[in-house]
Structure 1
Amino acid sequence: MGQTFGKPTSNPFQNSSLFSSLKLSSSSHPFFDQNMALRPSIFSTLKRPPVAKPSDFIPLFNDCIAAASSRTQEYLLFKDPEDKFHPSPEVLTQVFLMTYMTQSVSLNLTDTFNCTTMTPEQRILLGADWVWAVLEKPTKNPRIQIAVQVLHLVKREDAEENGASPDACSESVQMAQKESSNNNMYERLVDFCASIGKDCYALFLFLGRKNDKGNIYGVLSNNFEAANGKCKIDRVFIENFFKGSRYLHTPSGMMQAIVTKKAEDNLTLMIKFS
């Protein structure tokens, strides 16, 4: 089964009506079709593996995002009656990322759509908290990349900057900070994506916004570098994309737009993740 039938060297079943009806006689049979040996058996098509579509992973990605967003919202919306519990921006980022990764492993998504977290040094140098990548098969080389930088409510970010980070005193982190001191975190992410090309997107992920503290939004583009030299790339610049925006994509809509985009085309989207 699954193999092509060739010419038999002998035919002990020549008188069998079953084999005569299948025309599997010897080469001397007057009705033998020489092209038959070149044709694949009908049985070889029965177990043909399904051809993977570029968008097959999108529903699984959407499930992972839904789980991560829902879990993170519990912390964004929680109010401690005693006003003692205040999750830091770092904790909120880790809650989102760990929930996403747990779900992606359980759904066997990692062979198609990978997630790579950055070290403290990489986060400073590249401006990314993690990088998502659509993988080619069978090489598993990244075909499309999305570098994610998490943004929090301004008060939370100010508290994080004023607090002491356990990694802040390490020599490697201090060297990374010195190396990247010329650009802010937003500009580093934009530069990183631009250095790779149009198949690398910068995604600024907002865990809460000024007028909507309990939801998660995003601004994604492979063309932020067009603003270099024209205006400053900072939080105000990113948030301005929401002004006048009539449509917010879903996570699955965002990913569908990415995988169907023509090469070298620009793409900028606003997304609601929760």
Structure 2
Amino acid sequence: MEVSSNGSNGSNGSSSSIKPLANPFVNSKLLSSFRASLQKRPPPAPSSTEGTPKPNIFATLWRPNLTNTDDFIPLYSDCIAKACSRTQEYLLFKDPEDKFHPTPEVLTQIFLMTYIGQSLSLNMTDHFNCTVMTPEQRILLGADWVWAVLERPTKNPRIQIAVKVLHLPDREGIAEDYPPEGRTESQQMAQQESSNKTVCERMVDFCASIGKDCYALFMFLGRKNDTGKIYGVLSNNFQAAVGKVDKIDRDLIENFFKGSRYLHTPTGMLQTITTKKDEEPLTVLIKFN
């Protein structure tokens, strides 16, 4: 398999809106909420500020007014630092009584909720937003959430990053995110529809259906030789592996780190994908903390 940052794999051009997936199940009402969140939204109506008190200096510092779409990058880095630090507390915690064992679902939610809380505090969601998947979407598409760089002033997604959190194999055995007996009817339908593919393959198909401006980011909460750190593999070219390997899974993705000498920071990751040429295949390795 070759997923390269040079050359092209011959896929179709990028698009700022989601293209229909090949699977007809995607056209059902199951994903209507997700599609609606990425559709064009009209700009907010202007409101009168006459008589409104000016914010004090602390509010101005805490909630910056972004004037350039690239200004969100250091704010994103700050959000990631907070989320990683909080999640790492639970990754490394050892209960003396051996009673506390956070499940993969709990760890994922700790990272996501910490990130969202910080991003709201920094007022960056009009430039770089986060769309959380429903349980059905997570099963069908493989993604836990989608980050998007937004165009101004339309707020259409210019670049999208679908994120799937991967956990250490021994931790994944603690509890399944959605046990069969606890699934709703729609979740059971999604599981049945996607049962012939791994969760990683569903992510790859989802991103490929959108185009080269959509990246699949597999985020590792701990790796085999470094259980307390958070890493990631991001690419818009995983589709090149389809048909060349037996399956796309956690082990295959983690093999990208073998022999690697350079890891991007979260800041470097966003700078790279926001400045690359259209249609260019790109794969980067990231160390988030």
TM range (shorter): 0.7 to 0.9
Query: Which residue in 2 is equivalent to 1:177?
Result: 191
Structure 2 distance, partners of 1:112, 1:138, is 9
User: SS in structure 1 opposite 2:130?
Assistant: strand
Aligned residue runs from structure 1 range 25-40, under 5 A: none
Is 1:127 aligned with 2:139?
Answer: no
Q: Give aligned-pair identity as a percent.
A: 75
Secondary structure of 1:94 counterpart: helix
Q: Which of residues 79, 103, 107 is equivalent to 2:118?
A: 103
In the alignment, the residues of structure 1 paired with residue 178 and residue 67 of structure 2 have an alpha-carbon distance, to the nearest angstrom, of 48
Match of 1:205 among 211, 215, 219: 219
Structure 1 gaps, min length 5: 1-49
Matched, 1:149 2:170: no
Superposed, 1:3-22 pairs within 5 Å as none
Q: 1:76 aligns with which of 91, 108, 111?
A: 91
Shift of 1:235: 1.1
**Are the aligned partners of 1:193 and 1:202 in contact in 2 as well (CA < 8 Å)?**
yes
1:20-71 deviations in Å (ceiling 9; x for gaps): xxxxxxxxxxxxxxxxxxxxxxxxxxxxxx9944421100000000000000
- Does structure 1 retain, via aligned residues, the 8 Å contact 2:66–2:124? no
Say which SS state the counterpart of residue 126 (structure 2) adopts. coil
**Aligned-pair RMSD on alpha carbons?**
1.6
Please report how far the alpha carbon of residue 216 of structure 1 lies from its aligned counterpart in structure 2 after TM superposition: 0.2
1:264 aligns with 2:253: no
- Greater CA radius of gyration, 1 or 2? 1
Note the alpha carbon deviations across 1:84-107, whole angstroms, 9 max, x for none. 101110000000000000000000
Q: Is the 8 A contact 2:233 2:284 kept in 1?
A: yes
Q: Distance in 1 between matches of 2:125 and 2:180?
A: 30
2:190 match: secondary structure: helix
Is contact 2:66-2:72 (8 Å) kept? Answer: no
State which of 237, 244, 250 in structure 2 corresponds to 1:235: 250
User: Aligned partners of 1:52 and 1:168: how far apart in 2?
Assistant: 46
- After TM superposition, give the deviation of residue 165 of structure 1 in Å: 3.8
Q: Relative to structure 1, is the Cα distance of residues 89 and 99 closer, same or farther in structure 2, using a 3 angstrom cutoff?
A: same
Q: Cα gap change, 1:140/1:153 in structure 2, threshold over 3 Å: closer, same or farther?
A: same
8 Å Cα contact 1:168-1:174 kept in structure 2:
no
Q: Deviations over 1:170-218 (max 9, x none)?
A: 1111000011112110000000000000000000000011111110000
Matches of 2:178 and 2:117, distance apart in 1 = 29
Instruction: Tell me by how many angstroms 1:158 deviates.
Output: 2.0
Q: What displacement does 1:168 show?
A: 3.3
Match of 1:66 in 2: 81
> Residue 108 of structure 1 aligns to a residue in which SS?
coil
- Residue 260 of structure 2 corresponds to residue 245 of structure 1: yes
Long gaps (5+) in structure 2: 1-64
Give, in whole Å, the separation in 1 of the partners of 2:268 and 2:178. 39
Deviating beyond 3 angstroms after TM superposition, the runs of 4 or more aligned structure 1 residues are 50-54, 163-168
Q: Which amino acid aligns with 2:243?
A: G
How far off its partner does 1:159 sit?
A: 2.1
